[in-house]
Structure 1
Amino acid sequence: MSNSLMLRGTNLRYVLTRYLQLNGPTTVAGLVVALDDWGFAVAGRPSKVISDALRWERGHDRVRRRERGRYVATIGIPRRTEHRINQRVEALRAQARQLSLGGGHQPP
């Protein structure tokens, strides 16, 4: 079992959006590597899961597609939304660090 925190849904979208805010335009392949570096994983084919999550964020105008497979965070996200994203991502990163130190997911 991996020591990575599995992301899906809102958590995955928030982590991707935050990464793009911090690091600028990035490819889907770069985001796959970034998730691994931050201690996260996704179920299924990572490029597909990430592309689907970014499509949702594009619909809410938090992310824009620059070209095929390359995305950038938009400027002008409402402050409350940005704060909520930042808080959630920091909590998830702390949880991922704890997993990497503690040896993996705890059994249910």
Structure 2
Amino acid sequence: MINRRLLRGIELRYALTLYLHQHGPQTVSDLVDALEYQGFEIIGRPSKSVSDALRWETAHGRVCRTARGKYRPLEMPRSTEYRIHKRVVALRAEAARLTGRDDDTFWDRIARFS
């Protein structure tokens, strides 16, 4: 069994927001797949948890819902982007350690996943 880093709350919101800002518009199912590929696990029904998290980000103007189950990034202040990026990088490192993917090339392969 592979150990995965559990995401919920602010960590889930930050991971989703950063992924959207790095990869552009995505569907909820694409976001769930991307997080699972990165070694994260989402509690409960993943699609509902993701849409709930993105609803918060939509209310704060960092993400926009374009259609049912589709989201795209919006502008955000550099300081906010820096804070989110710093936190998600730490989460990814922890997920890599838990899943045994602690090599530097793993994150290079993640960039091509989109």
Q: Provide TM-score, normalisation by structure 1.
A: 0.90
SS in 2 for 1:90: helix
Partner in structure 2 of residue 92 of structure 1: 91
Q: Percent identity?
A: 54
Query: Structure 1 residue 43: deviation in Å?
Result: 0.7
CA distance in 2, matches of 1:12, 1:88: 11
Segments ≥4 residues shifted beyond 4 Å? none
SS in 2 for 1:6: strand
CA distance in 2, matches of 1:45, 1:16: 16
Root mean square deviation, CA, Å: 1.2
CA distance in 1, matches of 2:2, 2:71: 28
CA distance in 2, matches of 1:62, 1:3: 30
SS in 2 for 1:18: helix
**Mind listing any 5+ residue stretches in structure 1 that lack a counterpart?**
103-108
Q: Amino acid of the residue matched to residue 86 of structure 1?
A: H
Q: Structure 1, residues 47-91: CA drift from partner, whole Å, max 9, x if none?
A: 00000000000000000011110001102x011100000000000
Partner in structure 2 of residue 78 of structure 1: 77
Partner in structure 2 of residue 52 of structure 1: 52
Alignment of 1:55-66 (within 5 A): 55-66=55-66
CA distance in 2, matches of 1:87, 1:58: 21
Q: Amino acid of the residue matched to residue 81 of structure 2?
A: E
CA distance in 2, matches of 1:2, 1:44: 18
